[in-house]
Amino acid sequence: QKEVEQDPGPLSVPEGAIVSLNCTYSNSAFQYFMWYRQYSRKGPELLMYTYSSGNKEDGRFTAQVDKSSKYISLFIRDSQPSDSATYLCAVYTGNQFYFGTGTSLTVIP
Protein backbone atom coordinates (compact mmCIF):
# COMPACT_ATOMS: atom_id res chain seq x y z
CA GLN A 1 0.00 0.00 0.00
CA LYS A 2 1.35 3.39 -0.95
CA GLU A 3 1.91 5.93 1.79
CA VAL A 4 -0.22 8.53 0.00
CA GLU A 5 -2.92 8.03 -2.62
CA GLN A 6 -4.30 10.84 -4.75
CA ASP A 7 -6.89 11.00 -7.49
CA PRO A 8 -4.97 12.15 -10.61
CA GLY A 9 -7.95 13.88 -12.21
CA PRO A 10 -7.76 15.83 -14.44
CA LEU A 11 -10.13 18.35 -12.94
CA SER A 12 -11.60 21.21 -14.97
CA VAL A 13 -13.70 23.96 -13.36
CA PRO A 14 -15.05 27.39 -14.34
CA GLU A 15 -13.46 30.50 -12.88
CA GLY A 16 -14.90 31.33 -9.47
CA ALA A 17 -15.74 27.74 -8.56
CA ILE A 18 -14.77 26.08 -5.29
CA VAL A 19 -12.25 23.32 -5.86
CA SER A 20 -11.77 20.31 -3.60
CA LEU A 21 -8.63 18.19 -3.90
CA ASN A 22 -8.24 15.06 -1.82
CA CYS A 23 -5.75 12.45 -0.69
CA THR A 24 -5.69 9.50 1.65
CA TYR A 25 -2.70 8.26 3.60
CA SER A 26 -1.83 4.89 5.09
CA ASN A 27 0.03 5.43 8.36
CA SER A 28 -1.78 6.92 11.32
CA ALA A 29 1.61 7.98 12.77
CA PHE A 30 2.08 10.67 10.11
CA GLN A 31 1.88 14.12 11.67
CA TYR A 32 2.84 16.60 8.95
CA PHE A 33 0.75 17.04 5.83
CA MET A 34 1.61 19.29 2.93
CA TRP A 35 0.24 20.59 -0.34
CA TYR A 36 2.53 21.53 -3.20
CA ARG A 37 1.63 23.33 -6.42
CA GLN A 38 3.51 22.55 -9.62
CA TYR A 39 3.19 24.66 -12.74
CA SER A 40 4.05 23.13 -16.08
CA ARG A 41 7.80 22.74 -16.60
CA LYS A 42 8.55 23.94 -13.07
CA GLY A 43 9.52 22.34 -9.79
CA PRO A 44 6.92 21.88 -7.06
CA GLU A 45 6.52 24.72 -4.56
CA LEU A 46 5.14 24.37 -1.06
CA LEU A 47 1.68 25.87 -0.82
CA MET A 48 0.88 25.14 2.81
CA TYR A 49 1.21 22.52 5.50
CA THR A 50 -0.64 21.40 8.60
CA TYR A 51 0.50 19.62 11.72
CA SER A 52 -1.70 16.88 13.14
CA SER A 53 -5.40 17.38 12.45
CA GLY A 54 -7.63 20.36 11.81
CA ASN A 55 -7.77 23.20 9.34
CA LYS A 56 -5.34 25.82 8.15
CA GLU A 57 -6.35 28.77 6.02
CA ASP A 58 -4.23 31.00 3.80
CA GLY A 59 -6.15 33.42 1.67
CA ARG A 60 -8.29 31.46 -0.78
CA PHE A 61 -6.70 28.15 0.24
CA THR A 62 -7.75 25.89 3.11
CA ALA A 63 -5.97 22.67 4.06
CA GLN A 64 -7.83 20.14 6.15
CA VAL A 65 -6.72 16.91 7.80
CA ASP A 66 -9.08 14.29 9.19
CA LYS A 67 -6.92 11.82 11.10
CA SER A 68 -9.83 9.55 11.96
CA SER A 69 -10.31 8.73 8.28
CA LYS A 70 -6.70 9.45 7.18
CA TYR A 71 -7.96 12.03 4.71
CA ILE A 72 -6.20 15.20 3.48
CA SER A 73 -8.05 17.92 1.61
CA LEU A 74 -7.24 21.21 -0.08
CA PHE A 75 -10.02 23.66 -0.85
CA ILE A 76 -9.59 26.58 -3.23
CA ARG A 77 -12.24 29.30 -3.08
CA ASP A 78 -12.96 31.68 -5.95
CA SER A 79 -10.65 29.73 -8.24
CA GLN A 80 -8.67 31.72 -10.80
CA PRO A 81 -7.07 30.75 -14.12
CA SER A 82 -3.70 31.28 -12.41
CA ASP A 83 -4.57 28.36 -10.11
CA SER A 84 -4.28 26.01 -13.09
CA ALA A 85 -1.50 23.62 -12.09
CA THR A 86 -0.85 20.18 -10.69
CA TYR A 87 -1.41 19.90 -6.94
CA LEU A 88 0.51 17.30 -4.96
CA CYS A 89 -0.24 16.20 -1.44
CA ALA A 90 2.60 14.91 0.72
CA VAL A 91 3.38 13.59 4.18
CA TYR A 92 6.59 14.01 6.17
CA THR A 93 7.95 11.31 8.46
CA GLY A 94 10.76 13.34 10.02
CA ASN A 95 13.25 11.95 7.53
CA GLN A 96 11.45 11.48 4.24
CA PHE A 97 8.64 13.01 2.27
CA TYR A 98 6.10 10.85 0.47
CA PHE A 99 4.11 12.40 -2.34
CA GLY A 100 0.81 11.66 -4.01
CA THR A 101 0.74 11.36 -7.78
CA GLY A 102 -0.74 14.85 -8.21
CA THR A 103 -4.08 16.18 -9.45
CA SER A 104 -4.09 18.30 -12.59
CA LEU A 105 -6.40 21.31 -12.26
CA THR A 106 -7.54 23.61 -15.04
CA VAL A 107 -9.59 26.73 -14.24
CA ILE A 108 -11.44 27.95 -17.31
CA PRO A 109 -11.95 31.74 -17.66
What residues line the site for another protein (CB under 8 A)? 6, 8, 32, 34, 41-46, 49, 88, 90, 92, 94-102
Q: Please report how close the Cβ of residue 108 comes to another protein at its closest, in angstroms.
A: 23
Least Å distance between CB 90 and another protein?
8
Of 78 and 97, which CB lies nearer to another protein in the complex structure?
A: 97
Give the helix ranges, DSSP H, for 48-102. none
Give kind and range of the element (H or E) at residue 100.
Answer: none
- C-alpha to C-alpha distance for 88 and 22, rounded to whole angstroms: 10
Q: Minimum distance from CB of 75 to another protein (Å)?
A: 20
Closest CB to another protein among 34 and 76?
Answer: 34
38 versus 84: smaller Cβ distance to another protein: 38
Nearer to another protein, 79 or 103 (CB): 103
Question: What's the closest the beta carbon of residue 41 comes to another protein, in angstroms?
Answer: 8
Q: State the CB neighbour count (10 A cutoff) for residue 56.
A: 15
**Distance from the Cα of residue 28 to its chain's centroid:** 18
| Positive or negative torsion for Cα 101, 55, 42, 13 | positive
What is the rounded distance in angstroms from the CA atom of residue 8 to the CA atom of residue 104? 7
